[in-house]
Structure 1
Amino acid sequence: MFGRRDLFAGAIALAAERFLSATGNPSIWAAPRLVTDPFALGVASGEPAADGFVLWTRAVGLDQDVRLGYEIAHDEGFRAIARSGTVTATAARGGAAHLEVRGLPAGRPWFYRFHLGDAVSRVGRTATLPLNPARLRLALTSCQHWEHGWFSAYRDMIAEGVEAVLQVGDYIYEKSFGNGPNVRSFGSPDPVTLDDYRARHALYRSDAALSAAHAAMPFIVAFDDHEVENDYAGEIGGVTADRAAFLRRRTAAWQAYFEHMPLRPSALRADGGLQLYRRFRWGRLATVHMLDTRQYRSAQPCSNGKRGGQIVQDCDAVRDPRATVLGARQEAWLDRGLAQERSTWSLVTQQTIFSRLALPQAPDARYSDIWDGYEAARQRATISLTRPAVRNAVLLGGDVHSFWLNNIRADFGDPASKVIASEVVTSCLASRNGPAALFDTARALNPHVRFLDNAHAGYVLLDIVPDRIDIDLRAVASLADPAARCFSLARRTIADGRPGFD
């Protein structure tokens, strides 16, 4: 494992010199002179499809573009090479390379690596999606704070044979917060510029467990708020009051996020935004509808001059039909996709808790930065979940640093209302748990909340077969121990045709 000092001192020292060949052909570049490992940030895969995937690495320390060699093999020893070639790592993108691979056979593992001069990256493993699998194992994870804990839960995912990781936000944290002992330090101020955010992402990739997980499994990712700043909503900062300054910070943060994630090259749009809502299909077994609940959302209601999420009361704006979490285009995209659903299981994967959360402060009190602040938008999404083609809708989320299993009702105001979907919310992978003032009374005040644990960090393991989803809430034994193991905190099942939990 490279330490932080090694990563950044070495990155600065790396001389990546490009020059033309004697023929003057600019497409032929010589290998740079290397004084440290250009692949210290590791490798990753994502965007899995039946015929391919995206491979990622970031060659650190580049000041000019270079060509990276790559190999994709049938075997870990690279005796049977299936594909090889070059991909450009550009200085404008911090040395990041996103290789979109297509045309491979479905449903089999693949091994890959990158080259630069004499340097060879670690070997990564990924897979093409099977056309019609009989079973599927996914991990749901969120909220990993560098200072609060080691990322040892990723080792459990590897040991459990997870086929793909659904990372639903707060992949990095931009700030320190909370009371309690830290296991390590950011060692730098809150990021603001592109270089700042690049350094924060690079620091995260120096975690051995996270780096190993990216090399072992494809990640399907979408950001939440801490990849930029806490509780921002669309174009409105949650911390930065000046709009122009916030938009500069957001642009820098989004680019750095793209540079460090195994996303399609086309995901970074010309306007600086990211295309993060998309679908992944495992035949007729399951479809993951990955949503983006942060980029297009309206401002939190009844802010009264304050920034970000807060408990609001007597707030008619929570029912504003113009307010949105997904934006009109994404709402229509989700509705069309669910109306045309072909899979047994519709996994609507997003960033936070979807269910109504009655609070002890008052009967009409709501926390404004979750779906409770956007009642009309939630109702529109609920209608989409009940399209006739949807056989089993399961909401997957994170954000709230606690485990939840909830029954989604057609009308949360009526306890006898029909249960139309199931909700599974993962705890933080490595952070402090959620606010007791909001969650300690949740079971008593919210009969649709069937399980709640606000004392453990970890992730959710999902075993999916045609007639059920087996849910294992995996809790990490200690955030202070980098070798800590996970244990099963609770197990539940969602049966085909029977939404919700007993």
Structure 2
Amino acid sequence: MLDRRALIGGTAALAAWRFLHPGPAVAGGRRTATTDPFALGVASGDPTADGFVLWTRLADATGDQAVGFEVADDDRFRGIVRHGRCLARAGRAHAVHIEVAGLPPGRPFYYRFHHAGMVSRTGRTITAPVTADRLRLALTSCQHWEQGWFTAYRDMIAHAPDLVLQVGDYIYEKSFGSGPDVRRFGTADPVTLDDYRARHALYRTDPDLQAAHAALPFVVTWDDHEVENDYAGLQGVQTTDPRAFAARRAAAYQAYFEHMPLRRASVANLYRRLRWGDLATLHILDTRRYRTPQPCGHGGHVIDGCAALEAPGATMLGTAQTRWLSDGLRTETAPWSLIVQQTLFARLHLADGPGARWSDIWDGYPASRRQALAALQAPEVRNALILGGDVHSFWLNDIVRNPERGDGPIVASEIVTSCLASRNGPAALFGPAKRLNPQVRFLDNDHAGYVLVDLDRSRAMVDCRAVDDLADPASPTRSLARGIVADRRPGFVS
């Protein structure tokens, strides 16, 4: 007998492939790169029980332009449930954000845009359910345009997750590292608003990324490369002048919001909460905008004996976000609490010595980690999963109550995805990590890819999926490792 999830997933995947590719721009016509106003694709995100956000951006437009949209309950648009017109403003790069509401819960919907007699490709999205027994997530991070093809998205679409969690480094602002590249940025590092807009637009021309956005709703949060490598709050690393960095960050932030399927409220605070019925709450964090500078030097580096590590006021999340997370966990009602954030949370002992640590991950902010762990131990939290990326490697970790000492009961489970398309993490840091860190249940620093997470009321099933060859645009993606977290039993099942 066919597994119900496999049957539903297979049906959804077939439906997705049916509408992923652009249709004719006009009746009987053909779409061309020079005439298609929707060459940057379509996207949806942040689904709620009654709606979602729809996005597109007109390519090569001038002046403010009117854009029409349609939402239907079928992919042939016979049952239109919402339609209207909005203004694509030149001052916002002709980006369109439609916040759709008032729809029935737990349903797939299809959408498209109209402009100047032309029609966008069709996108598929969903409303969140009110009650749910299952949730499939795809966790992804770190996609470098130059360093690999985005072929993992094809495998992701085939597995038909309900949501894609993109936890940062959606774009890269710089070239780095040795090794062959599959393509080039072709421009200098972005600094101005126009620069960042151009970098985002370049990414949106990738066919696999476009297909994923059209097929699947995204839930996004940023990390450092959307602005500048290893920045912290208002302190840059490459851009050392404070005024120049503030201007660069503001430009990068505006371009990010212009290109992501986000609600207007997220401009003020990117951290937010989404609920998947009564099964899971997604607590989506921002670990860049509010953090204080890394201790004992700018940017990520190995520190040891650093007195500033416990400096008063040192924080990863800032006061308001820390309180928001604690309040949300104290009032949790779902069996699964998902902490969707950017980087490695577990204590990572290094070969440099017992006191050494990498400053740019949670190890550089131990007070913030203690606060987060205290919040995760609220009696209302039944199962805590911490989801992250950033470190270009796969990790499955048990999180203990006292990570600095490495003792105490397991209180949470951590899932870290590798880069979707980039070079792996530094071997000097991660090579000995499994031997030095007993809380690490699985580690792979040799592959890129993404992670599938299947939740039901009895367990979380984790599948680390790896691309065989980032330089091969036809490379297959396969399962690298699997893990299970059982209900009310934190830590990975042996």
TM-score range, shorter chain: over 0.9
- 1:310-321 alignment to 2 at 5 Å? 310-321=301-312
Retained in 2: the 8 A contact 1:406–1:422? yes
CA deviation profile, 1:83-121 (whole Å, cap 9, x unmatched): 111121110000001000000000010000000011110
Partner residue, 1:216: 215
TM-score, normalised relative to structure 2: 0.92
Partner residue, 1:21: none
Retained in 2: the 8 A contact 1:70–1:86? yes
Retained in 1: the 8 A contact 2:394–2:418? yes
Give 1:328's aligned amino acid: T
CA distance, structure 1, for counterparts of residue 87 and residue 125 of structure 2: 21
CA distance, structure 1, for counterparts of residue 34 and residue 151 of structure 2: 31
Retained in 2: the 8 A contact 1:152–1:482? yes
Retained in 2: the 8 A contact 1:99–1:265? no
Retained in 2: the 8 A contact 1:320–1:375? no
Give 2:344's aligned amino acid: I
CA distance, structure 1, for counterparts of residue 34 and residue 404 of structure 2: 64
CA distance, structure 2, for counterparts of residue 51 and residue 74 of structure 1: 13
Aligned partner of residue 487 in structure 1, secondary structure: strand
CA deviation profile, 1:205-261 (whole Å, cap 9, x unmatched): 110000000000000000000000000000000210100000111011010001100
- 1:141-290 alignment to 2 at 5 Å? 141-269=140-268, 275-290=269-284
Instruction: Tell me the CA shift for residue 35 of structure 1.
Output: 6.2
Instruction: Tell me the CA shift for residue 413 of structure 1.
Output: 3.5
CA distance, structure 2, for counterparts of residue 424 and residue 61 of structure 1: 40
Give 1:85's aligned amino acid: G
Instruction: Tell me the CA shift for residue 164 of structure 1.
Output: 0.7
CA distance, structure 2, for counterparts of residue 451 and residue 267 of structure 1: 34
Instruction: Tell me the CA shift for residue 440 of structure 1.
Output: 0.6
Instruction: Tell me the CA shift for residue 79 of structure 1.
Output: 1.0
Retained in 2: the 8 A contact 1:131–1:283? yes
CA distance, structure 2, for counterparts of residue 314 and residue 156 of structure 1: 45
Which consecutive residues of structure 1, in runs of 5 or more, have no partner in the other structure? 1-33, 270-274
Cα 1:434–1:347, aligned 2, differ >3 Å: closer, same or farther? same
Give 2:439's aligned amino acid: H
Retained in 2: the 8 A contact 1:320–1:376? no
Partner residue, 1:126: 125
Retained in 2: the 8 A contact 1:321–1:376? no
Retained in 2: the 8 A contact 1:318–1:372? no
Aligned partner of residue 49 in structure 1, secondary structure: coil
- 1:322-337 alignment to 2 at 5 Å? 322-337=313-328
Would you say 1:295 and 2:289 are equivalent positions? yes
TM-score, normalised relative to structure 1: 0.91
* Aligned residue-pair number: 461
Counterpart selection for 2:449 from 440, 446, 458: 458
CA distance, structure 1, for counterparts of residue 153 and residue 317 of structure 2: 29
Retained in 1: the 8 A contact 2:401–2:407? no
Instruction: Tell me the CA shift for residue 336 of structure 1.
Output: 0.4
Percentage identity across paired residues of the two chains: 62
Aligned partner of residue 113 in structure 1, secondary structure: strand
Retained in 2: the 8 A contact 1:320–1:374? no
CA distance, structure 1, for counterparts of residue 104 and residue 326 of structure 2: 31
> 275-284 or 460-469, which moves further after superposition?
275-284
Aligned partner of residue 47 in structure 2, secondary structure: strand
Retained in 1: the 8 A contact 2:461–2:485? yes
Runs ≥4 residues deviating over 3 A:
413-416
Retained in 1: the 8 A contact 2:342–2:390? yes
CA distance, structure 1, for counterparts of residue 248 and residue 237 of structure 2: 12
CA-based RMSD: 1.1
Retained in 2: the 8 A contact 1:407–1:448? yes
- 1:360-439 alignment to 2 at 5 Å? 360-439=351-430
